[in-house]
Structure 1
Amino acid sequence: MNQPYRPNQTGKMFFRSSSSQQNNPRRPSPRRGYFNRAPENLGEKTEHSKTPQQNCLRIIPLGGLGEVGRNMTVIEWRDYERDDRDILIIDAGVRFPEEDMPGIDLLIPNIKYLEDKTDKISGLVFTHGHFDHIGALPYMLEKLRNPMIYAAPLTRGLIIKRHEEFKHLPKLAIDEIKNGDKRKIGIFEIEFIHINHSIPDDMALLIKTPVGRIMCTSDFKFDHNPVIDKPAEIDRLKKIGQDGLLLLMSDSTGAEEPGHSISESDIQVNLENLIKNAPGRVIVGMFASAINRVQQIIAISEKHGRKVVVEGFSMKAAVEVSKVLGYIKTKKGTLISAGESNKYPDDKITILGTGGQGEENAVLMRLATHRHKQLELKKGDTIIFSSSIIPGNERTIQHLKDNLLRHGVKVYNYKMLDIHAGGHGHQDDLEYMLDLVKPKFLMPVHGQLSMLYAMKDLGLKMGLAETNIAVVENGQVVRLTQDSMTIDKKPVPSEMVMVDGLGVGDVGSVVLRDRQMLAEDGMFVVVAVVNSRTGRVQGSPDIISRGFIYLRDNKQMLSDARTIIRRVVEKTTAGEHPFNDVLVKEEIKEKLGQFLFQKTHRRPMVLPVLIAV
């Protein structure tokens, strides 16, 4: 069995450190190595003219670049001679909304570019089963006209399980693939190569195209001792480098982290110590799809006589699918319901739940806010956050931790102990991948912009010419031939699509801005009855305030506001009968908004309602 690293006599992993390249028999110096080649021109960002163009491969990221999550990439062969194209899609993932997106459930990729090209889509390939790679499928399946899907067993199972929630959608067409399988998908030939991640059945993709072979690493790490998985196919990766690789699309999420990512098995000792020594219940918050971790915690709990409660819709679904497929194994009677947990002593209970990112309706948040129907936090509980923080969720998670601590529980996270092994390779892992597959061109993917540039720096360190590395953002089009890589000046649509309940794309920037205004400063509704012949306000305008001021405590402000309303209406309608109600409303918004800000330093949403009589 191949292992990516060899332990030395001290038991540490044998790596070339980030500061030294000496005495490493496994990696040639960039000065002497494969990458010591003449720079090749990446090219200016040019608008392609109408003159005959060279057939090329177009790589179009629709999500996952400049962000963490929402991964989706289009691989398109463009045959200009025949005016034809062939499209392959890799992944279709979601991203969770940020704090300033009230009412938004999920963010998904924008597929407008594909909507008039669905007859050219040869297939949709999923690299693994994490929601940031599969979660958007139900929201775009019909617009993509239900293409053939290719996925490994666990990925397939998780896709089907999620599909069951959307009864109106057509039946999926899925071709199940395994490590080493090859598929002819349109003009492309794809080989699926096992790689390590925090979920089993993760596949790197080696894609044979008319211009050469390209490789998408998927999310990956090198784990020499995985929990319920096998080490990566190192010999196969090395053979790819020997045979020649045109382009590597490399995971970049861990590119800012020095060294190498720790093995999933390395955290087992700390997890076991916490669970073994906990005086009461152990509650673990984590990603539902971190199947390797779920199996670890179940096995440790069984070893120490604990029953396991699985809570959270997505967690239950993931465990159910993984048990059926044999990725999670439990003894009879280990898994019990939340209601049954009260029959056992607290120190014999482990609860596996969602919510490690502070999600509003996940298990941890419901426990912290007394909204869980069957479980309540108790003094003596131990809470373990067995996940890292997705960028952008820092404040939400801190707020959740504070709420949990108010219940008298003990909280542990990955910064205090090694209780989380990330699924993404760090700098040494990424350099090792470059050394194995030896690409001519490099395109960093999967990560915030700083991560993509950090991956570029690693490519430079390994000997790639700067002109052979393309750092792009969502929507930018990379054109690839056998000899060149250029970036189109004109991008394709890539704005985030927001999912709000059952609505997909219904919420745009204007609606979101209105929600933000309502959430921050409230609403001030004005109802005025206006005589359509004279333009005079009849009676006293009604005022309704929500989330702005308490009316009973601000009578003088309300009196002044009514005076302003009357003055604005009568001035604006003077000489206009019938009056222009749109103009009057705009004037009320402006003048009343200025007055309210002057008095309160807040800007509520002002909604005038005029009733003409």
Structure 2
Amino acid sequence: MEIEIATIGGYEAVGRQMTAVRAGNDVVIFDMGLNLSKVLIHDNVETERMHSLDLIDMGAIPDDRVMSELEGDVKAIVPTHGHLDHIGAISKLAHRYDAPIVATPYTIELVKGQLEGEQKFGVDNDLVTMSGGESMEIGDGVELEFVHVTHSIIDAINPVLHTPEGAIVYGLDKRIDHDPVLEDPFDMKRFREIGREGEGVLCYIEDTTNAVKKGRTPSESIARHHLRDTLKSMEDYTGGIVATTFSSHISRVSSLVEFAKEIGRQPILLGRSMEHYSGAAERMGYVDFPDNLGMFGHRKSVDRAFKRIMNEGKGNFLPIVTGHQGEPRAMLTRMGRGETPFELEDGDKVIFSARIIPEPTNEGQRYQAEQLLQMQGARIYDEIHVSGHLSQEGHYQMLDALQPQNVIPAHQSMEGYAPYVELAEGMGYDVGRDLHVTRNGNRIQLVE
């Protein structure tokens, strides 16, 4: 069976992920993502109203024209998890393909939100849910399997395409977490089995975001302990404490909510994306928030919540807000600019339970936001966080478990691939032979 891989997006920079695998006449697309930084550098851009071609020209979504060169029919569109760099282009591109969108239940819920907000295209692809540990037939002798992984968002999977020539493992995005906060541990047992079944693993496509970092990525339970210790250190402080994290990081948000109660404060979730992700997780039973948890997304309701906090005393509340990357329109940045009723004072605490995404736009915006907060006297508590991506020892473990015949690094810049290439070469792979460093828009023929 002919096996071909089209590396469409995410192979020259982090963001706008998209990969297609052709097995015979059957094609499966993995991810359709957005590069948000390409949008944020423009003022007042509303992607919902924009044409896909304009977004492609902007570098915000994948240029999928290479798909016309693949001889086969798209049988499924498979987003691995609900981050925008993996689902943010579905509303712009999915309608071009007569294929269902297949994802885990929480990811499907977030995809629905993307489709409901779309104002340019009508997307009527079927939405099919499948959980980690389940499989479905895709075509003649081709099967799609979901393997549960842990990441900085719940309900993430690595899809595996089983073909007569061996398995294609699409490894974006994950960390190996044996002690997660809200969900099952990483399914390393299944990856080891796949590496030794049938023809083994023909190709492994891997997220190399943190390949430069030595050691292993710690568990979310470590971040939870660090966060609890930090908040406990503020238990006697009577002024304002504000926390920010990734809105999609439901495990982290749930820890913040829990620890707010422990130090005698009422948690309130503020910001559109905070309400979107946490509201979906609560509706679907992934998290059990207190009945009186406030959750507000619209500007007016957020400002009413801030007025209540000021009227009843900042020492009684823990606002958990958007803006961990310094996004100009997010809650925390507005607070730093003095555009909300919440008044920061000398000594007030701001907890960043997140790291800066290593990208110039984010770094600049985050720096500016921190400066604004510090000018008002805020004390910054930074990097109370663990990454959602594998470090070097995690990469070694995955290559050792899967023993793939071919490896394709992804989710990085050309410069960023270097540490992963060195690691893979140390395990016997050679660039140009079985280690394929590629660019967006290329095709790799694995079996002719």
Q: Where on the TM-score scale, by shorter chain, does this alignment land: which range?
A: 0.7 to 0.9
Displacement of 1:358:
1.8
Partner of 1:453: 418
In 2, distance between residues paired with 1:357 and 1:255?
Answer: 22
> 2:5 is matched with which residue?
59
| Residue equivalent to 1:152 | 104
Residue 189 in 1 paired to residue 143 in 2? yes
Deviation of the 1:268 alpha carbon: 2.1
Give the match for residue 86 of structure 1.
26
- For the pair 1:389 / 2:349, whether they are aligned, the reply is no
Instruction: Report if aligned partners of 1:114, 1:144 keep a CA contact under 8 Å in 2.
Output: no
Within-5 A mapping of 1:165-204 = 165-166=117-118, 169-187=122-140, 188-204=142-158
Among residues 368, 372, 376, which one is paired with 1:403 in the alignment?
372
Structure 1 counterpart of 2:313: 345
C-alpha distance in 2, partners of 1:133/1:208? 22
Contact 1:275–1:282 at 8 Å: present in 2 too? no
- Which among 402, 409, 417 is matched to residue 444 of structure 1? 409
CA RMSD across the alignment: 2.3
Pair 1:342–1:101, CA change in 2 (3 A): closer
Aligned residue pairs total 416
- Give matches, 1:413-452, under 5 Å: 413-414=382-383, 419-452=384-417
Distance in 2 between residues matched to 1:117 and 1:471, nearest whole Å: 20
Alpha-carbon distance change, 465 to 113 in structure 1, aligned in 2, over 3 angstroms: closer
Pick aligned residue for 1:268 from 224, 234, 237: 224
Unaligned runs of 5+ in 1: 1-54, 80-84, 483-613
Task: Answer yes or no: is the 8 Å Cα contact 1:385–1:412 preserved in 2.
Answer: yes
For residues 126 and 185 of structure 2, the distance between their equivalents in structure 1, rounded to whole angstroms, comes to: 30
TM-score w.r.t. length of structure 2: 0.87
Partner letter of residue 398 of structure 2? M
Tell me the distance in 1 between the aligned counterparts of 2:90 and 2:295: 32
Distance in structure 2 (CA, Å) of the matches to 1:438 and 1:241:
6
Match for 1:268: what amino acid? R
Q: Which residue of 2 aligns with 1:359?
A: 327
Could you tell me how far apart the structure 2 residues matched to 1:100 and 1:291 are?
24
SS in 2 for 1:283: strand
Deviations 1:511-536 (CA, angstroms, capped at 9, x unpaired): xxxxxxxxxxxxxxxxxxxxxxxxxx
Q: Give me the whole-angstrom Cα distance separating, in 1, the residues matched to 2:189 and 2:293.
A: 39
Residues in 1 aligned to 2:423 and 2:285: alpha-carbon distance in whole angstroms: 38
Alignment of 1:209-608 (within 5 A): 209-243=163-197, 244-278=200-234, 279=237, 280-335=239-294, 338=302, 339=305, 340-372=308-340, 374-390=341-357, 391-392=359-360, 393-414=362-383, 419-466=384-431, 467-481=433-447
Q: 1:298 to 1:435 in 2, by over 3 A?
A: same
Maintained 8 Å contact 1:211/1:480: no
Contact 1:206 1:216 in 2 (8 A): yes
* TM-score, normalised via structure 1 length: 0.64
Taking a change above 3 Å as real, the CA distance of residues 344 and 403 of structure 1, as seen in their structure-2 partners, is same
| CA positional deviation for 1:330 | 1.5
- The answer on whether the counterparts of 1:306 and 1:334 sit within 8 Å (CA) in structure 2 is no
- Considering only CA atoms, is the larger Rg found in Structure 1 or Structure 2? 1
CA distance in 1, matches of 2:325, 2:89: 19
Letter of the 1:443 counterpart? I
Match of residue 90, structure 2, among 137, 142, 145: 137
Q: CA deviation at 1:56?
A: 2.6
Please give the alpha-carbon distance, in whole angstroms, between the structure 2 residues aligned to 1:380 and 1:365. Answer: 18
Indicate how the Cα distance of structure 1 residues 136 and 399 shifts in structure 2: closer, same or farther if over 3 A, else same.
same
Query: Structure 1 residues 233-242 or 459-468, which shifts more?
Result: 459-468
- Residues in 1 aligned to 2:407 and 2:429: alpha-carbon distance in whole angstroms: 8
1:71 aligned partner = 17
Asked if the contact 1:309/1:341 (under 8 Å) is kept, the reply is: no
Query: Aligned partners of 1:166, 1:288: CA distance in 2, in Å?
Result: 21
Task: Decide whether the 8 Å contact of 2:8 with 2:66 is kept in 1.
Answer: no
Corresponding residue number in structure 1 for 2:114: 162
Aligned positions of 1:36-55 closer than 5 A: none
Measure how far apart 1:118 and its partner are.
11
Given that 2:248 and 2:277 are in contact with CA atoms closer than 8 Å, whether structure 1 keeps it comes out as yes
2: CA distance, partners of 1:116 / 1:448: 25
Distance in 1, Cα, partners of 2:70 & 2:395: 35
- CA deviation profile, 1:374-424 (whole Å, cap 9, x unmatched): 53433342112222222222222111111111111111211xxxx111000
Q: Which amino acid in 2 is paired with 1:159?
A: V
Please report how far the alpha carbon of residue 210 of structure 1 lies from its aligned counterpart in structure 2 after TM superposition.
4.5
User: C-alpha separation between the residues in 1 aligned to 2:39 and 2:92?
Assistant: 22
Secondary structure of the structure 1 residue equivalent to 2:37 = coil
Counterpart CA distance in 2 for 1:99 and 1:176 is: 30
Residues 470 and 248 (structure 1), Cα distance of their counterparts in 2 relative to 1, 3 Å cut = same
Structure 1 pair 313–383 and aligned structure 2 pair: CA distance change class (3 A): same
| In 1: Cα distance, 2:143 partner to 2:325 partner | 38
Q: C-alpha separation between the residues in 1 aligned to 2:366 and 2:223?
A: 22
Aligned to 1:110: 63
Q: Does the CA contact (< 8 Å) of 1:358 and 1:396 recur in 2?
A: yes
String of CA shifts for 1:166-214, please: whole Å, max 9, x gaps: 2663445111101111111234311110111111111111111343211
Q: Is the partner of 2:417 in helix, strand or coil? A: helix
Query: How far, CA to CA, are the matches of 1:273 and 1:344 in structure 2?
Result: 26
SS of match in other structure, 2:5 = strand
Question: Structure 1 residues 138, 336: CA separation in 2 closer, same or farther (over 3 Å shift)?
Answer: closer
Deviation at 1:442, TM superposition (A): 0.8
Question: Which runs of no fewer than 5 residues in structure 2 stay unpaired?
Answer: 48-59, 297-301
Deviation (angstroms), 1:257:
0.4
TM superposition outliers: structure 1 runs of 4+ over 6 Å:
115-119
- Letter in structure 2 aligned against 1:304: I
Q: CA deviation at 1:336?
A: 5.6
Q: Give the aligned residue type for 1:394.
A: E
Q: Distance in 2 between matches of 1:303 and 1:435?
A: 42
SS in 1 for 2:405: strand
Q: Structure 1 pair 305/170, CA: closer, same or farther in 2 (3 Å)?
A: same
Which structure shows the higher helix fraction? 2
Deviation (angstroms), 1:348: 2.3
Q: Distance in 2 between matches of 1:118 and 1:295?
A: 46
Q: How far apart, CA to CA, are the structure 1 residues paired with 2:295 and 2:32?
A: 34
Amino acid at match of 1:56: E
Distance 1:73 1:476, change over 3 A: same
Given residue 161 of structure 2, which amino acid in structure 1 is its aligned partner?
I
Q: Give how far 1:344 is off.
A: 3.4
User: Structure 2 vs 1, CA of residues 124 and 336 (structure 1 numbering), >3 Å: closer, same or farther?
Assistant: closer
Higher mean C-alpha deviation, range 431-440 or range 135-144: 135-144
Deviations along 1:21-49, one digit per CA (max 9) or x if unpaired, are: xxxxxxxxxxxxxxxxxxxxxxxxxxxxx
